[in-house]
């Protein structure tokens, strides 16, 4: 009487491993893109909240503050938010990536007193590589 063997052959196991590797290769970059977009949306919400605080200050004092400590701003886990006074009637909030929590991000986000949110390349530092974030 011949015994029936149970289990998988090496070829079947290699096909499964290859299929899983292929799926992971496709899925991981999509996941990274999703995480980056989610973090940008999160910092956008923090910037809008801080801009609302600035507008409230302006309505009470009739000018924007010349300086604000970072502790007075609504902070974000993945971006460091700073305040920059452009003039008495305008301001800019800048959210630069926190390299300890967000090492792969090379863009920063900013909002001005007109409520325009833009995303810029970190390396450039100028407004040439910026686009309006919708």
Q: Which domain holds residue 20?
A: 10-132
Residue 99 belongs to domain with CATH number? 3.30.540
d(CA 8, CA 47): 55
Whether residue 41 lies inside any domain: the answer is yes
Q: How far apart are CA 68 and CA 63, in angstroms?
A: 13
In a domain, 111, yes or no: yes
2 inside domain: no
112-122 pLDDT, tens digit per residue, is 999 999 999 87
Which tokens go with 114? 């007109």
Give the dihedral sign, CA 125/94/68/57.
positive
Beta-carbon-side half-sphere exposure of residue 40 (alpha carbons within 13 Å)? 21
* pLDDT of 69: 84
- Tell me if 1 is assigned to some domain: no
Whether 128 has a pLDDT exceeding 80, the answer reads no
Look at residue 3 and tell me if it is in a domain.
no
| Residue 56 included in any domain | yes
Which tops the pLDDT comparison, 55 or 134? 55
Above pLDDT 90, what percent of the chain?
63
* Whole-number Å distance between alpha carbons of 42 and 90: 23
pLDDT for 1 beyond 80? no
Residue 20 lies in a domain: yes
First to last CA, the chain: 73
Residue 68 has pLDDT above 80, yes or no: yes
Domain count, the chain: 1
């Amino acid at each position: 009487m011949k015994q029936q063997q149970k289990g998988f052959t090496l070829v079947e196991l290699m096909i499964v491993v290859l299929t899983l590797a292929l799926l992971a290769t496709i899925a991981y970059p999509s996941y990274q893109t999703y995480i980056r977009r989610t973090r940008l949306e999160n910092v956008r919400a923090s910037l809008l909240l801080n801009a609302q605080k600035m507008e409230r200050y302006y309505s009470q004092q009739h000018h924007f503050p010349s300086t604000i400590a970072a502790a007075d701003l609504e902070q974000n886990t993945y971006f460091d938010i700073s305040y920059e006074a452009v003039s008495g009637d305008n301001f800019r909030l800048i959210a630069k990536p926190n390299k300890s929590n967000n090492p792969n991000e090379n863009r920063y986000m900013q909002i001005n007193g007109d409520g325009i949110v833009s995303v810029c390349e970190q390396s450039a530092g100028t407004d040439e590589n910026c686009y309006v974030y919708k």
